[in-house]
Amino acid sequence: MSVYIKEPEQKAEACVIWMHGLGADSSDMAGLVSQLKVSSLALRHVFIDAPRRPVTLNGGMIMPAWFDIYGMELIDRMDIQGIEQSEVIIRQVMNSQIQDGFAPNQIYLAGFSQGGAMALHTGLNTHERLGGIIALSAFLPSVVAKDCTQLDKSTPFFIASGLFDPLVLPLWTNQSKDWIAANGYEQISFYQYPMEHAICVEEIIDISHWLETHVLGVTHDNC
């Protein structure tokens, strides 16, 4: 497991843990972070590289992947063993941040595509209230796998997707958002953008505003 940390100039008031998409690495998420408009915040950004594993959909090619993908349908992305193995890795990083002084409600889980799926899965299986969960062009892989509503209901979500995404269908993201809402989570910020499987400037602006709103709110609550 490779973990990279970007520290703010001042003492960090929150920690965002980022998970990249299939076949990528932490530099993808670092590029997104470099474009955030959050100068009012002192954030520690933690980037995790996914383990390398064979991916069935790509002919068994070994690449960074949080879990295996067997085919193009949503049910083909339910590699429960791989998902649970990656959850252990992410939780180790979360625990290391808690040991470093962050409260659970100062920790945000964020990711794109597979990484966003892991942010949703890991977050919803967390007992404490987290600062929030950011899922970009993602889906909840455990919707049909098991009940995972341990997370405090006041935890906020930022969920976004591309209207023309051919890889993670907008329908899957919508279904995941609806499932989360149906299980009692009311703080869901949901956005759709005219793009495919990507991240756009408008999305980065919306993430920035969302982080400012929720990090500053938690900071004031802790004062």
> Which are the catalytic amino acids?
113, 165, 197
Residues 6 or more apart whose CB falls under 8 angstroms from that of 147 comprise none
User: How are beta strands 3-6 and 43-48 bridged, if at all?
Assistant: antiparallel
